[in-house]
Structure 1
Amino acid sequence: MPRFPQPAPEDLRRDSRPLLGRTALVTGASRRDGIGYAVARRLAAYGAGVYLHHHVPHDVAQPWGADPEGAEGVAAGVREARADPEAVVAHGPGDLTGPTAPAELIATATGALGTGRLDILVANHALSGHDGPLDHIDAAMLDAHWATDTRSVILLVQAYARLRAALADRPPGGRILMMTSGQDLAGGMPGEVAYALAKGALASATRTLATALADLAVTVNTVNPGPVDTGYLDGEAHDAVAARFPSGRWGTPDDPARLLSWLATDEAQWVTGQVIDSEGGFRRG
């Protein structure tokens, strides 16, 4: 006889809709070329209702620009992927740098999803640009990245935890997923000091947050997706990065999305406090 009870055969068979009935907030999901969109589609395909946060002015200011079909076009692509046609897919804007904005977003998303709870938080948003090497950065750059990339995420986690703690019944499946950028790996990110510091803080906080939320039946993990082709490089620079992958290609948004969506399922219930690199063998340095 086995020492511990073993799963029943039916529990070993993969459920094609493992997130049926659960709800998720995905931040930074404003472009169909982005990781947030790919994650949201995966979660919806697994059965979850999804609220998409976007901050279009950020994209407008970048070389790649905003999605040509706007936020509703992004939401339509997520609805198309739904495994449950009744699952809610809603969206709304938000500049998360304000001190109260993260808590307001949690409340808005929870209300829009209509269940009175939020099961999955995917903090995918980040500030692009406004950075540089050590000799170039200044206090304003450091503060801007801290406010967007770190402080807003911690405040989102705080608001999520408070919502979870207020539930009379805390169902299993609480998940917090954060994003980092491999700044602690070989070579670091000397050309993006402000961004690397802000994202590094999330990696450092992962285990602390996992311990803090364990009593709420919530796992906390952080994913480093490595270089993902979201349209920010082209030409020779694009080819040079591709050559550093054993496969000869960049990561696509769906590459990290597969890992992130799996971490949201019950199959990953014993994984918490981890910073996971999903880089396709990318050679650094």
Structure 2
Amino acid sequence: MTAPLAGKTALVTGVSRRRGIGYAVATRLAQLGASVFIQHWRPHDLNRPWGGDDLDAVRTGIRSALVGDATFGDVETDLTDAAAIPGLIDAASALTGRLDILVCNHAKSGDDGSILDMTADRLDAFWDTNTRSTLLLTAEFARRLAPPQSGQRRPGDAVEGSKPYAEPTGRVFWMTSGQGHGAMRGEVAYATSKAALAGVTRTVAADLLDLGIVLNTINPGPVNTGYMDPDSADRDTSGLDEWLRTTAFGRVGVPSDPAALIGWLSTAEGAWIVGQVLTSDGGFSL
């Protein structure tokens, strides 16, 4: 099929820049036939060296990738506000009347530090944005797909599904980082928030699978979304070209690399891969 995701609807979070992974994922899912709803929070970008993008251009780019009768929608939402999460799932579901794919791509980056720089506020900021909101989004998504539960459920009781499942009832994707492959010096709060998602992937995937929902976590390795360019970097880029020559492909990733993986995993061909933390880094971690 040229549009294997035709009739599906995807919510992709953290889509505010055309150079970002979220934009590449949203575009790829649109090319595969899905209707796409995006969440963005531009104030984060405006406080970073790479700055904010033109949201109208972001919208236009994704719309141009849509296939057939697929449609597009978007909303600006601060995901550190837990009360806003049900409304986001509602808005994405209202686009077509269904929601099949959730890609939790949003992340706080920058303003981090070493262990000596850690404060409660700094740790909370990364946790609330990267970890807590991802878990809450996943929980809200799963509740919409769960059949009515018999009796009085207590926290921790098994979820009742409707097995067998001919195909997944939903897909969820989390994003982690390379903290499991080596030190991420100067990024203690970020690495902590992302390590938590990688560490709990199997636990949450097991719960979701009772409902037919497939969860996988993606580690895209280093992907240049602007933070490695001298004019918009948030770190020292001296020696970058020399370092790149030592890597397997002689380059870092581009956003379309993880987007291709997520796109494939969203199709029927990727349905048997469940509960994995998948590294797609061109051999960087080797």
Please confirm whether the aligned pair reaches a TM-score higher than 0.5, indicating the same fold.
yes
Q: How far apart, in 1, do the equivalents of 2:205 and 2:133 lie? A: 17
SS of 1:30's equivalent in the other structure is coil
Q: How far apart, in 1, do the equivalents of 2:169 and 2:60 lie? A: 26
Q: CA deviation at 1:238?
A: 3.8
Q: How far apart, in 1, do the equivalents of 2:247 and 2:145 lie? A: 40
Match among 221, 224, 228 for residue 226 of structure 1: 221
Q: CA deviation at 1:166?
A: 5.0
Q: How far apart, in 2, do the equivalents of 1:102 and 1:208 lie? A: 22
Match among 82, 92, 103 for residue 122 of structure 1: 103
Q: How far apart, in 1, do the equivalents of 2:42 and 2:242 lie? A: 30
SS of 2:115's equivalent in the other structure is coil
Q: CA deviation at 1:81?
A: 1.1
Identity %: 50
Q: CA deviation at 1:237?
A: 4.9
Q: CA deviation at 1:191?
A: 1.8
Which structure 1 residue ranges, 4+ long, deviate > 4 Å from structure 2?
166-171
Once the two structures are superposed, residues 143-193 of structure 1 have per-residue CA deviations (whole angstroms, 9 ceiling, x without a partner) of 0000000000000001000111158999744100000001111x2213201
Structure 2 matches for 1:192-207, cutoff 5 A? Answer: 192-207=187-202
Number of equivalent positions: 264
Is 1:184 matched up with 2:180?
Answer: yes
Q: CA deviation at 1:242?
A: 2.4
TM-score (normalizing by structure 1): 0.88
SS of 1:221's equivalent in the other structure is strand
Is 1:46 matched up with 2:32?
Answer: yes
Q: CA deviation at 1:71?
A: 1.9
Q: Structure 2: 5+ residue runs without aligned partners?
A: 149-160, 231-237
Structure 2 matches for 1:24-173, cutoff 5 A? Answer: 24-67=10-53, 70-84=54-68, 86-111=69-94, 113-115=95-97, 117-166=98-147, 172-173=168-169
What does residue 9 of structure 1 align with? none
What does residue 274 of structure 2 align with? 272
Q: How far apart, in 2, do the equivalents of 1:237 and 1:24 lie? A: 39
Q: How far apart, in 2, do the equivalents of 1:210 and 1:41 lie? A: 26
Q: How far apart, in 1, do the equivalents of 2:70 and 2:13 lie? A: 18
Q: How far apart, in 1, do the equivalents of 2:133 and 2:63 lie? A: 27
Tell me, yes or no, if the aligned pair for 1:241 and 1:250 is still in contact at 8 Å.
no
Q: CA deviation at 1:136?
A: 1.3
SS of 2:264's equivalent in the other structure is helix
Q: Structure 1: 5+ residue runs without aligned partners?
A: 1-14
Tell me, yes or no, if the aligned pair for 1:183 and 1:196 is still in contact at 8 Å.
yes
Once the two structures are superposed, residues 236-275 of structure 1 have per-residue CA deviations (whole angstroms, 9 ceiling, x without a partner) of 3542452342111121000110001111111111111000
